[in-house]
Amino acid sequence: MALSNIERHYNKHPEDLRLQRRHGMVEFETTMHHLHRFLKPGMQILDIGAGTGRYASALMAEGYSVKAVELVKRNIEVFLKREPMAYVIQGDARNMPFIADATADITLLLGPLYHLIGDEQKLMALNEAKRVTKPGGLIFVAYLMNEYSILSYCFDEERIADLMARGVVDNNYHIRAQEDELYDYVRMEDVSRLNTMAGLRRVTVFSPDGAADYMRTRLNRMSEETFRRFIEYQKTISERPDLIGAGSHIVDVVSG
């Protein structure tokens, strides 16, 4: 059921367009900024949950060898239309027998954990990413943040009382996603717990978008000069511990 939910979502909400809008551009450029801190010529990159290949395409254009894995057929079609020579396989981040052990210098896991509900499902994907990454290699793991959903969905849309009454949000205002839901949300302590369980060590963690999702209309009104400065601002403050959990996403950079 969860997989059909994912396909329905990405058929209706094209991921390629999201990363071309201003709030998505902040996320993309900040993530690329941090990737470039660790990339070296000749590195092998594995993009798990590649979507329509926005990151893979950019890295291929820079000369990197990129293998991509994506679950949703429509996303693969969009990707291959733009990059006919791309290496992309349809597959599930939790089980990738078609990828050999210790294949990638850098593994991207920038979407699958949004949709995997609960620790067990997330750990399956983390363990697979760890397996296919070379010793000493890095895994970039993206998560959706609890407080973003609490503020933007639960409070702003007046759903909080009903969700708490149904136990979907607990008394500590932590979302408890049900198995058939599309998204799961975390706090930093959840991410740290998953790292411990998977035997992963944090190298750094950053917020790729910060306030961008809250500021969509404001971003769209900004002049090009001010918007470019906002992107530079987000790059500069993206690792600040006091701001990490405030945006809609984080990217945890970890090593096995």
Of the given ranges (6-20, 31-45, 237-251), which has the lowest mean pLDDT? 6-20
CATH of the domain at 66: 3.40.50.150
CA atoms within 13 A on the CB side of 132: 27
- Give the containing element (helix H, strand E) for 16: helix 15-18
Instruction: Answer whether residue 159 is part of any domain.
Output: no
Percent of the chain predicted with pLDDT > 70: 93
- pLDDT bin (cut points 50, 70, 90) of residue 62 is very high
- Rg of the chain over CA atoms, in angstroms? 18
Determine the pLDDT at residue 13.
64
At 157-177, the pLDDT tens digits run 999 999 999 999 999 999 999
Pick the closest to residue 29 from 248, 220, 232 (CA basis).
Answer: 232
pLDDT beyond 80 at 1: no
- Burial class from Cβ neighbours inside 10 Å (0-12, 13-18, 19+) for residue 59 reads buried
- pLDDT bin (cut points 50, 70, 90) of residue 14 is low
Determine the pLDDT at residue 6.
73
Of the given ranges (97-101, 174-178, 203-207), which has the lowest mean pLDDT? 174-178
Q: What is the mean pLDDT of residues 98-105?
A: 97
Query: Around Cβ 62, how many Cβ atoms within 10 Å?
Result: 13
77 Cβ contact partners less than 8 Å away, ≥ 6 residues apart: none
pLDDT beyond 80 at 22: yes
Instruction: Answer whether residue 174 is part of any domain.
Output: no
Determine the pLDDT at residue 17.
67
At 214-247, the pLDDT tens digits run 999 999 999 999 999 999 999 999 999 999 988 9
Instruction: Answer whether residue 156 is part of any domain.
Output: no
pLDDT beyond 70 at 36: yes
| Amino acid in the structure at residue 174 | H
Sign, CA dihedral 77-83-87-92, equals: negative
Cα separation, 181 vs 204, in Å, equals 29
**29 in Cβ contact with 58 (< 8 Å):** no
- Burial class from Cβ neighbours inside 10 Å (0-12, 13-18, 19+) for residue 77 reads exposed
Q: What is the mean pLDDT of residues 5-11?
A: 68
Number of domains, the chain = 1
246 secondary structure, DSSP code: G
Which residues form the domain of 95? 2-145+181-255
- pLDDT bin (cut points 50, 70, 90) of residue 208 is very high
pLDDT beyond 90 at 20: no
Determine the pLDDT at residue 19.
66
Instruction: Answer whether residue 153 is part of any domain.
Output: no
- Burial class from Cβ neighbours inside 10 Å (0-12, 13-18, 19+) for residue 180 reads exposed
Instruction: Answer whether residue 173 is part of any domain.
Output: no
pLDDT beyond 90 at 86: yes
**52 in Cβ contact with 15 (< 8 Å):** yes
β-strand pairing of 87-90 with 201-206: unpaired
- pLDDT bin (cut points 50, 70, 90) of residue 21 is confident
Instruction: Answer whether residue 85 is part of any domain.
Output: yes
Average pLDDT, the chain: 93
**232 in Cβ contact with 30 (< 8 Å):** no
Instruction: Answer whether residue 152 is part of any domain.
Output: no
Tokens of 74: 């429509």
Percent of the chain predicted with pLDDT > 90: 88
